[in-house]
Chains A and B, each alone.
Chain A
Amino acid sequence: MRITGLGLAALAVVSIVGCQGAASSPSTSAPPTATSSAEAPSPSTAAEPIRIGALFPVSGDMAAFGNDGVAAAQLAAELFNEQGGVDGRMVEIVPADVTTPEQAASEAQRLITQEGINVLIGTSASSLGLPASAAADRQGALYWDVIDQSPQISGRGLAGVFQFAPHADVQGKAAVTFTADKLAPALGKQPQDLKIGIIFANDAYSASVADGAIAQAKELGLNVVATESYDPAITDLSSVILKLKSAGVEVLVGSQLPADAILLNTQSRQLDFNPVLVSAFGYDNPEAVTALGDCINGIFLSSNPQFSAIDPTKLEPDGRALAEAYGPGWKEKTGRETSVDSDTIFNATWVLLNNLIKATGSEDPKVLAEAARKLDLPVGSLGNAWGVRFDESQYNTRTVQSINEYQEQKQVLIYPETLVFGEMTLVPRPAWSDICS
């Protein structure tokens, strides 16, 4: 018994020493797994890739967004690898298709426990990001949320979850701020004299946008004469439009799904309702441009800055270099134009690879999380004009919202002045017949 007890004690000592060895030299150990953190490190090879799990919906309704997400992450990894990776180790993006909340949680778990991946990114929909990040955090992994905008992502106090993109209400606030700052003078009115309407689809994201708009309008003492929400399955907006028209709405702040956005525009023309429209969602996609043609001109978008609308000379040198690599790289990789989502995901992934993994030389989630909390990149450091600084809830406070106007069916960034690339054109709005046939 004594001999057995001594033997057990010796084994325990060896294990503890082995553990400490693994923790103190993460750059030379094999990628740690959540269940193997107490094991002795395995010999590393320079060729062993650094694997990042990418949870996106690459099938189903959200496939268009999900595929952009994977491509953007892969592009960031490719550019990173061209610069030598991390001590010769290349980054490999490992995609996982997630289309339901249940799948998001199970795929996060699978990547961590079966694939041994401890750093995850995702997901293009907060309804997927919430369960994925919770599952990742339970396993001790790092969840780098590159695009989701629900306040709950960073609002749950999960130590391993970081939210890169702004909360949806920020877009609503930006739309109203722009209305007061720029639209009111252009319309020859005091901001408090403008009649503002708010219209949004009843989904979590759009409702959050509307909350931000309403709060900001109240803060600025603006006159909101109508607030209308509707079920996303609606097939007719005529009555709502008549209501907004009866209320005399001059500026309409909205967030729609793409199909409703097209319907709103079409039926507004049918009913000759022609306010200035500042939209957070619904018109920022190529399908809307194809569907509406010139009828999209004069619509303002409150969104994350779109890469193609940013003046690169207004960025910091690092941001400019990223922008110059990203644009042509994206076109070559996908054959498509960039999107706001791909811009955001590319830059978020770049920060993870360059400013966390390369800077620390580690894939340990705890090491990366600690480094993330200390990150201090000024606005303009990234190709999409953002910076990075996480607050205590691990939410990035250095995002920038821009206002773009559709001019000749292309987005032109017109606000804020720090990034301005063009000027407003269709304010006051001419008649519909002068905008499009």
Chain B
Amino acid sequence: MDVFISIAVIGLGVGFLYALVSMGLTLTYGVLRVVNFAQGEFMMVGMYATWVLHEEFGLDPYLSWPLSTLLVMALSLVVYELVIKRTIASAHAVQAFVTLGLALVLQSAALFVFSSHIVTTDSILGAGALVIGPVRLGYTYIASAFAAIIVTVLLYQLMQRTTFGRAVRATAQNAHAAQLQGISTNGVYRWTFVLGTGLAGLAGAVFSPIYATFPTVGFGIMLVAFVVVVLGGMGSLPGALIAALLIGLVEAFSSYLIGPSARFVVVFLVFVGILLVRPQGILGIKGSELVGYN
């Protein structure tokens, strides 16, 4: 029984990490209708930014995360203006290829600047764990859980209670009508993209003490992130959080009961099973892939 409690706790810890990466993807797709295949690479940039701040200035990643996130957002602002803005009205295939190309560019740039050698970022939290009876949970996972919960709450408040949030929701529902209402849709797209990729950067900062940093680190997480976004319901932030936690639990239990090499099989079986029963995702609204953020 103790073991199962431990596994559940671990699964939730991993799930919160997936949530951080996935929510940014949900936001970007929900508003811009752009599937950002480079989301994992923005997370990778966040990890490198955190590492540099640690190496050069001795900053702990759990203190430097605002700076890492801002650096990633600055980069994504440039990327939006130079690349993404020009694909907003393009076909999905064009957007897919553009963001895939962007992912390769970011990976190659990281390889050029940092080489292929892996680097690691230490934290004062280190390998310490909270011990409650037989259950142990690494401090780093507790930190990622806090980050994910706070981000979810803040994002929700931003979307529901601020002018910007209303503008985002209006643009997501009908960009033309939003424009007619005087909303600058280009501004909404810009800052939503920056915010979405900024969340990936934040995830990178939180993730960096847990896992080594190297140019292709973003790839492994992205596969799961896409599953989370669709499973949660396209454009649903609370849905992304619930789906992420569910996937984390499924991975943890399947790794223990069957074996870690079976995790993708089980995850995709659950994914297909839920979508067969509920095609719009856990908290999605029918047709939300057309309506967008909800």
Chain A residues packing against B (C-beta within 8 Å): 59-64, 202, 228-231, 233-240, 242-243, 246, 258-259, 262-263, 266-267, 269-272, 287, 290-291, 295, 437
Given contacts A60-B111, A234-B263, A239-B10, 9 further A-B contacts (CB under 8 A): A59-B111, A202-B261, A228-B260, A238-B252, A239-B251, A258-B118, A259-B217, A287-B117, A295-B127
Given contacts A229-B259, A242-B256, contact A270 B128 (CB under 8 A): yes
A231-B120 in contact (CB<8A): no
Kindly provide the distance from the CB of B266 to the nearest chain A CB, expressed in whole angstroms: 12
A270-B138 in contact (CB<8A): yes
Q: Which residues of B contact A240 (CB under 8 A)?
A: 255-256, 260
Kindly provide the distance from the CB of B219 to the nearest chain A CB, expressed in whole angstroms: 7
Bound form: Cα–Cα A332–B131 in Å: 50
Kindly provide the distance from the CB of A385 to the nearest chain B CB, expressed in whole angstroms: 27
A238-B260 in contact (CB<8A): no
Partner of B118, one of A233, A239, A287: A287
Given contacts A60-B116, A64-B117, A270-B128, contact A239 B255 (CB under 8 A): yes
Which residue of chain A has its CB nearest to the CB of B255? A239
Q: Which residues of A contact B223 (CB under 8 A)?
A: 233
Given contacts A64-B116, A287-B118, contact A231 B260 (CB under 8 A): yes
Report which residue of A239, A291, A295 has the largest number of chain B beta carbons within 10 angstroms of its beta carbon: A239
Q: Which residues of A contact B215 (CB under 8 A)?
A: 61
Which residue of chain B has its CB nearest to the CB of A262? B212
B82 within 8 A of A: no
Which residue of chain B has its CB nearest to the CB of A227? B259
B116-A242 in contact (CB<8A): no
Q: Which residues of A contact B261 (CB under 8 A)?
A: 202, 229-231
A242-B217 in contact (CB<8A): no
B136-A263 in contact (CB<8A): no
Which residue of chain A has its CB nearest to the CB of B207? A235
Kindly provide the distance from the CB of B236 to the nearest chain A CB, expressed in whole angstroms: 24
A63-B255 in contact (CB<8A): no
Bound form: Cα–Cα A63–B116 in Å: 6
B253 within 8 A of A: yes
Q: Which residues of A contact B255 (CB under 8 A)?
A: 230, 239-240, 243
Number of interface residues of B (CB under 8 A): 43
Bound form: Cα–Cα A271–B136 in Å: 6
- For window 57-81 of B, CB contacts with A under 8 Å fall at none
21 A-B pairs within 8 Å (CB atoms) are namely: A60-B116, A63-B116, A228-B259, A229-B260, A230-B255, A231-B260, A231-B261, A234-B263, A235-B14, A238-B138, A239-B11, A239-B253, A239-B256, A240-B255, A243-B255, A258-B212, A262-B118, A263-B210, A266-B127, A271-B129, A287-B212
Q: Which residues of B contact A62 (CB under 8 A)?
A: 116
Which residue of chain B has its CB nearest to the CB of A295? B127
Q: Can you list the 6 inter-chain pairs with the closest CB atoms, starting with the nearest? A: A233-B220, A239-B255, A230-B260, A291-B120, A269-B127, A259-B212
B7 within 8 A of A: yes
B276 within 8 A of A: no
Chain B residues packing against A (C-beta within 8 Å): 3, 6-7, 10-11, 13-14, 17, 111, 115-120, 126-129, 136, 138, 207, 210-212, 214-217, 219-221, 223, 251-253, 255-256, 259-261, 263-264
Which residue of chain B has its CB nearest to the CB of A246? B3
Bound form: Cα–Cα A269–B117 in Å: 24
The total number of A-B Cβ pairs within 8 Å is 114
Q: Which residues of A contact B217 (CB under 8 A)?
A: 259
Kindly provide the distance from the CB of A402 to the nearest chain B CB, expressed in whole angstroms: 24
Q: Which residues of B contact A230 (CB under 8 A)?
A: 255, 259-261
Interface of A, helix, strand, loop or mixed by DSSP: helix
Bound form: Cα–Cα A366–B129 in Å: 62
B136-A272 in contact (CB<8A): yes
Kindly provide the distance from the CB of B122 to the nearest chain A CB, expressed in whole angstroms: 8
B260-A239 in contact (CB<8A): yes
Bound form: Cα–Cα A60–B104 in Å: 12
B3-A270 in contact (CB<8A): no
Kindly provide the distance from the CB of B42 to the nearest chain A CB, expressed in whole angstroms: 16
Which residue of chain B has its CB nearest to the CB of A292? B120
A234-B7 in contact (CB<8A): no
Given contacts A242-B7, A262-B120, contact A231 B263 (CB under 8 A): yes
B252-A239 in contact (CB<8A): yes
Partner of B214, one of A231, A234, A259, A272: A259
B10-A242 in contact (CB<8A): yes
Q: Which residues of A contact B111 (CB under 8 A)?
A: 59-61, 63
Bound form: Cα–Cα A237–B211 in Å: 11
Kindly provide the distance from the CB of B188 to the nearest chain A CB, expressed in whole angstroms: 33
Q: Which residues of B contact A295 (CB under 8 A)?
A: 127
A270-B259 in contact (CB<8A): no
Q: Which residues of B contact A235 (CB under 8 A)?
A: 14, 17, 207, 210-211, 220-221
Partner of B136, one of A234, A270, A291: A270
Q: Which residues of A contact B17 (CB under 8 A)?
A: 235
Bound form: Cα–Cα A263–B136 in Å: 16
A270-B212 in contact (CB<8A): no
Which residue of chain A has its CB nearest to the CB of B220? A233
Bound form: Cα–Cα A155–B118 in Å: 33
Q: Which residues of A contact B210 (CB under 8 A)?
A: 235-236, 263, 266
Q: Which residues of B contact A236 (CB under 8 A)?
A: 10, 14, 210, 251-252
A259-B118 in contact (CB<8A): yes
Given contacts A270-B127, A287-B118, contact A263 B211 (CB under 8 A): yes
Kindly provide the distance from the CB of B47 to the nearest chain A CB, expressed in whole angstroms: 12
B256-A234 in contact (CB<8A): no
Which residue of chain A has its CB nearest to the CB of B136? A271
Given contacts A239-B252, A287-B118, contact A61 B264 (CB under 8 A): no
Which residue of chain A has its CB nearest to the CB of B129? A270
B127-A234 in contact (CB<8A): no
Q: Which residues of A contact B13 (CB under 8 A)?
A: 238
Which residue of chain A has its CB nearest to the CB of B260? A230
Q: Which residues of A contact B129 (CB under 8 A)?
A: 270-272
Q: Which residues of A contact B252 (CB under 8 A)?
A: 236, 238-239
Which residue of chain B has its CB nearest to the CB of A238? B10
Which residue of chain B has its CB nearest to the CB of A234? B260
